[in-house]
Chains A and B, each alone.
Chain A
Amino acid sequence: MNRIMILLVVLSLGVSSQQITDSQRLFTIAVSRVQHLHILAQRYFGNFESSLGPDEKRQLNKIFLQDFCNSDYIISPIDKHETQRSSVLELLLVSYRLVESWEVPSRSLAALSRDQISGKLTELKTGLQLLIRTNQEAAFVEGGVALGRFEDYDQRPDQNLRRNYELLACFRKDMHKVETYLTVAMCRLSPEANCTL
Chain B
Amino acid sequence: MTDCTRLKRLLGWVLLLLISAVFECSSNSPPGKPVFKDCHSPDKETFTCWWEPDPDDGEDTTYRLFYEKDQEESRECPDYHTAGKNSCFFDRNHTSIWVDYFLTVVAFNAFGNASSDIFKLDVVDIVKGNPPENVTVRLEFDQDSPTIHVYWNPYVIRSNYGWLTTKYQLRFKEEDGNWTMQNAGLLSQFRLYNASPGKQYTVQVRCSIDNGKWSEWSSSAFIQIPKSEPKQQRFWIPVAFFSAIPFFAAVCILYIKWKFIKQWLLPPVPGPKIKGVDVHLLKSGRSEEVTSALLINQVFPSVTPWKNQVEEYLVVRDDNLLIFDGLGTNGVIISSKFHSEANINEESNVENNVDHKEEAQILDYFVEINEPGFVDELNFVNAMETEKVQSINDLKVVPLENSSYVDIPKKDVTVQDMRPGDYSTVQDIRGECIILEKQSNTSDSKNTDMNRHEEERLPDDYTKVKEVKGDHIVLLQDPSCGNNGQYTDCGNHKSPHPMMEKGGVYADFLHNGYVDNISTTPVM
Task: List the one stretch of B91-99, B198-206, B268-276 in contact with chain A.
Answer: B91-99
Residues of chain B within 8 A (CB-CB) of A186 are: 162
Residue on B with the closest CB to A60?
B120
Give the docked Cα–Cα distance between A185 and B44 (Å): 17
Of the candidates A79, A179, A185, A195, the one having the most CB atoms from chain B within 10 angstroms of its own CB is A79
Report chain A residues within 8 Å CB of B490: none
Known: A39-B211, A183-B165, A186-B162. A196 touches B154 (CB 8 A): yes
Structural contact, A183 and B162, CB atoms closer than 8 A: yes
Q: Is the interface of B mostly helix, strand, loop or mixed?
A: loop
Interface range on chain A (Cβ under 8 Å from partner): 20 to 34
- Which residues of B are at the interface with A, using a C-beta cutoff of 8 A? 44-45, 68, 71, 92, 95-100, 102, 118, 120, 122, 124, 154-156, 159-166, 186, 210-211
A176 touches B98 (CB 8 A): yes
How far apart are the CA atoms of A197 and B185 in the complex, in Å? 10
* Residue contact B96 to A78, C-beta cutoff 8 Å: yes
Q: A78-B98, A173-B98, A173-B122 in contact; A184/B211 too (CB < 8 A)?
A: no
Q: Which of A13-71 contact B (CB under 8 A)?
A: 35, 38-39, 42, 61-62, 64-65
A187–B166 CA distance with the chains assembled, in angstroms: 14
A64 touching B162 by the CB < 8 A rule?
Answer: no
Please determine whether B163 and A194 come into contact, CB atoms closer than 8 angstroms: no
The 8 A CB mask of A1-19 against B (1 = contact, 0 = none) is 0000000000000000000
Q: Do B120 and A65 touch (CB < 8 A)?
A: no
Knowing A38-B211, A79-B95, say if A84 contacts B161 (CB, 8 Å): yes
Within 8 A of B (CB), among A155-192: 173, 176-177, 179-180, 183-188
Smallest Cβ-Cβ distance to A181: which chain B residue: B162
A-B contact pairs, 27 of them (CB 8 A): A35-B211, A42-B211, A61-B118, A64-B120, A78-B97, A78-B99, A79-B96, A80-B45, A80-B163, A81-B92, A84-B163, A173-B124, A176-B98, A176-B210, A179-B165, A184-B161, A187-B162, A188-B161, A194-B156, A194-B159, A195-B160, A196-B154, A196-B155, A196-B160, A196-B164, A197-B162, A197-B165
Q: How far is the CB of B101 from chain A (nearest CB, A)?
A: 9
Q: Which chain B residues border A197 with CB–CB below 8 Å?
A: 162, 165, 186
Within the complex, the shortest CB–CB distance from A93 to chain B, in Å, comes to 17
Q: Given A35, A64, A78, which contacts B102 in the complex, CB threshold below 8 Å?
A: A64
CA distance A185 to B162 in the complex (A): 8
Find chain A residues with CB under 8 A from B124 CB.
173, 176
